[in-house]
């Protein structure tokens, strides 16, 4: 565990990519293979099982810290990270006396599921006692199951690629899917892989790069021509707003993976018949959306169903899903990602035309256009199509790994926007700990301000500091971590969509609200009204 704690510390001690890679390599080179796999699992978002719930961890930690519970909670708001808060509050311990490895600790943690609450508590308190402050921090991270590190998966892969002499795309592929470090060994990871391969394993997603625009600067047809070349080299599709997914049919079994690498097969029973009907050795990339009368429904309809543990009959009726397929990555058991976009498209079209479920297995229609000017005109109809804009794919493009510049572009439409008044503020987490960074915004309803959206992003660090300064000096009331703030600051809030909602006081819900800019020029009286917002509902 000492090596793992040191890894964290060293990663925190540099901002330079090369040094981070070096630190990661040093770690890989110094620990047993089982530790490597556990680290890889943790750093690629495979959370450890949470066996002791966080309320218990908190309670037992508070008993050790010798401070009242309310002060523990306040400390947590200042630190913005539970694992770190507990490590900081415990009596300092500068010498570690434990030689257990990361694998040992995770093993012990997993054994706890068979133990009584009293035994768990004893184990936890004994564990804390033999760890130093930095080890306690990473240990607490294991306990609380939140493992966001300031290191991207790409860096971890790069370090591993350097060590194993394998290429990054291959490694990225091999760590996809539902492996667990207890059974997937380092040897398996680095070996030439064959038929024994995990049949559920998805390919890494290829992600589009955004064409950068702001509300002031638009890209003209000429800009596109100079950046992307001849329009005839590109295929265009609508950019749908659903759940990006990869769908697999291999050896008679089906798997549905979301972009976040969650296995979501059971969440979408409507898709099972068509998947079972596909030839073995097929992998599709596409978007899952709710449909009604042949038209996609807004994202929030789908959102209500994603959150449910059990899919009731009612939900399935209200929000039936279908797939809009974008691409085909594997055909007849062969990885076809290196074929061109056009070749893959032909295969996808063949597959789709052969389906017995054309209402469920849909294909993303190609937009007919002769010039960039044409396409710019078509793009203005995105909202009517319930699309977010347009996707551009080079006809000669291979299917690549991750977000790459060059062959896939997303050209989104301008967000909708309103001017709103900030009325509540709350402290952020992680990098934004102890700063007021999470705001609630309101619009006018008569002479009252009605909250309608929360937003966390969009301001620069300098602006955040200024807003934080304002919040601390203009607090009207405190409710736990939330402060009611003197209504004064006006911001332009952008969002992708707006829908009616019975769950919100304002009667509306926004999709992806964020701060576009701080309207220093606007007094609060000139912020928008609820009627302005409702006019955007378009019904």
Tell me, residue by residue from 8 to 47, as one string, x for binding to other proteins by CB under 8 A and - for no binding. ----xxxxx-------------------------------
User: For residue 272, which of 288, 291, 256 has the smallest C-alpha distance?
Assistant: 256
CB 424 within 8 A of CB 439: yes
**Residue 520 binds other proteins, judged by CB under 8 A:** no
Name the strand (E) or helix (H) holding 450: strand 448-455
**Residue 448 binds other proteins, judged by CB under 8 A:** no
Helix, strand, coil share of the chain (percent; to 5): 40, 25, 35
**Residue 58 binds other proteins, judged by CB under 8 A:** no
**Which one of residues 92, 116, 214, 293 is an interface residue with other proteins (CB under 8 A)?**
92
**Which one of residues 45, 469, 523, 526 is an interface residue with other proteins (CB under 8 A)?**
469
**Residue 523 binds other proteins, judged by CB under 8 A:** no
Binding window for other proteins (CB under 8 A); candidates: 71-79, 305-313, 352-360, 416-424: 71-79
Looking at the Cβ atoms of 13 and 108, the one nearer to other proteins is: 13
**Which one of residues 161, 166, 376, 433 is an interface residue with other proteins (CB under 8 A)?**
433
**Which one of residues 24, 31, 85, 441 is an interface residue with other proteins (CB under 8 A)?**
85
**Residue 476 binds other proteins, judged by CB under 8 A:** no
User: For residue 171, which of 354, 370, 310, 37 has the smallest C-alpha distance?
Assistant: 37
**Residue 466 binds other proteins, judged by CB under 8 A:** yes
User: For residue 245, which of 189, 306, 192 has the smallest C-alpha distance?
Assistant: 306
102-111 vs 133-144: helix crossing angle, rounded to 10: 40
Give 353's contacts (C-beta < 8 A, 6+ positions apart). Answer: none
Report the distance separating Cα 299 and Cα 289, nearest Å: 8
**Residue 74 binds other proteins, judged by CB under 8 A:** yes
The footprint of other proteins on residues 129-158 (CB under 8 A) is 150
Min dist. Cβ of residue 456 to other proteins (A):
14
The β-bridge relationship of strands 408-412 and 209-210 is parallel
**Which one of residues 35, 81, 496, 528 is an interface residue with other proteins (CB under 8 A)?**
81
Min dist. Cβ of residue 150 to other proteins (A):
6
Binding window for other proteins (CB under 8 A); candidates: 72-80, 199-207, 301-309, 329-337: 72-80
Q: What's the N-to-C CA distance of the chain in angstroms? A: 58
Report the distance separating Cα 427 and Cα 433, nearest Å: 6
Strands (E), 61-165: none
Q: Which residues bind other proteins (CB under 8 A)?
A: 12-16, 65, 67-68, 70-71, 74-75, 78-81, 84-85, 88-89, 92, 94, 150, 429-435, 461, 464-466, 468-469, 472-473
């Amino acid at each position: 565990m000492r090596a793992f704690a040191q890894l964290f510390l060293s990663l925190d001690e540099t901002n330079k990519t090369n040094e981070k890679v070096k630190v990661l390599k040093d770690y890989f080179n110094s620990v047993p293979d089982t530790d490597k796999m556990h680290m890889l699992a943790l750093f690629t978002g495979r959370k450890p099982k949470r066996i002791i719930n966080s309320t218990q961890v908190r309670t037992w930690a508070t008993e050790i810290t010798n401070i009242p519970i309310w002060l523990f909670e306040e400390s947590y708001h200042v630190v913005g990270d539970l694992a770190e808060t507990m490590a900081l509050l415990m009596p300092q311990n500068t010498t570690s006396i434990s030689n257990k490895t990361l694998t040992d600790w995770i093993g012990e943690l997993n054994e706890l599921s068979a133990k009584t609450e009293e035994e768990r508590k004893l184990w936890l308190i004994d564990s804390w006692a033999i760890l130093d402050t930095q080890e306690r921090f990473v240990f607490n991270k294991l306990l609380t199951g939140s493992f966001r590190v300031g290191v991207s998966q790409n860096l971890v892969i790069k370090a591993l690629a350097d060590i194993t002499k394998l290429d990054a795309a291959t490694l990225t592929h091999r760590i996809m899917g539902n492996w667990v470090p207890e059974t997937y060994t380092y040897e398996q990871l680095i070996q030439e892989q064959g038929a024994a391969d995990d049949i559920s394993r998805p390919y890494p997603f290829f992600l589009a790069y955004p064409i950068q625009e702001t509300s002031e600067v638009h890209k003209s047809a000429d800009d596109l021509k100079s950046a992307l070349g001849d329009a005839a080299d590109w295929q265009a599709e609508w950019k749908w707003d659903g759940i990006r997914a990869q769908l697999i049919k291999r050896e008679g079994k089906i798997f549905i993976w979301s972009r976040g690498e969650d296995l979501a097969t059971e969440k979408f029973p409507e898709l099972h018949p068509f998947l079972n009907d596909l030839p073995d050795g097929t992998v599709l990339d596409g978007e899952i959306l709710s449909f009604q009368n042949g038209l996609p429904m807004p994202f929030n309809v789908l959102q209500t169903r994603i959150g449910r543990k059990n899919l009731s009959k009612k939900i399935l009726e209200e929000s039936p899903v279908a797939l809009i397929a974008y691409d085909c990555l594997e055909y007849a058991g062969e990885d076809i990602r290196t074929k061109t976009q056009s070749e893959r498209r032909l295969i996808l079209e063949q597959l789709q035309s052969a389906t017995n479920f054309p209402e469920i297995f849909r294909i993303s229609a190609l937009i007919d256009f002769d010039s960039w000017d044409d396409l710019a005109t078509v793009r203005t109809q995105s909202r009517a199509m319930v699309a977010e804009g347009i996707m551009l794919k080079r006809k000669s493009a291979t299917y690549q790994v991750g977000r790459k510049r060059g062959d896939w572009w997303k050209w989104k439409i301008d967000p909708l926007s309103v001017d709103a008044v900030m009325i509540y503020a709350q402290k952020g987490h992680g990098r934004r700990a102890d700063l007021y960074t999470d705001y609630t915004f309101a619009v006018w309803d008569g002479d009252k301000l009605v909250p309608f959206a929360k937003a966390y992003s969009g301001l620069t660090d300098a602006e955040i500091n200024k807003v934080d300064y304002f919040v601390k000096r203009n607090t009207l009331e405190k409710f736990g971590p939330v402060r009611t703030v003197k209504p004064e600051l006006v911001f332009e809030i952008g969002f992708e969509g707006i829908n009616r909602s019975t769950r919100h006081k304002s009667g509306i819900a926004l999709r992806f609200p964020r701060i576009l800019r701080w309207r220093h020029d606007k007094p609060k009286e000139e912020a928008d009204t609820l009627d302005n917002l409702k006019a955007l509902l378009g019904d």
